[in-house]
Amino acid sequence: MLVFVDANNVRRSQWPNVPGDELVVRLRAWGERHGHELVVVFDRAAPGEVVGTHRVDDRTTLVGSGPESADEWLIRELPARPGAWLVTSDRALRDAAGGSAGRVIGGGSFLRSLDD
pTM of the model: 0.96
Q: Over its length of 116 residues, how does the chain's per-residue pLDDT go in tens digits?
A: 999 999 999 999 999 999 999 999 999 999 999 999 999 999 999 999 999 999 999 999 999 999 999 999 999 999 999 999 999 999 999 998 878 899 999 999 999 999 87
User: Distance (Å, rounded) from C-alpha 92 to C-alpha 51?
Assistant: 24
7 contacts 40 by C-beta, under 8 angstroms: yes
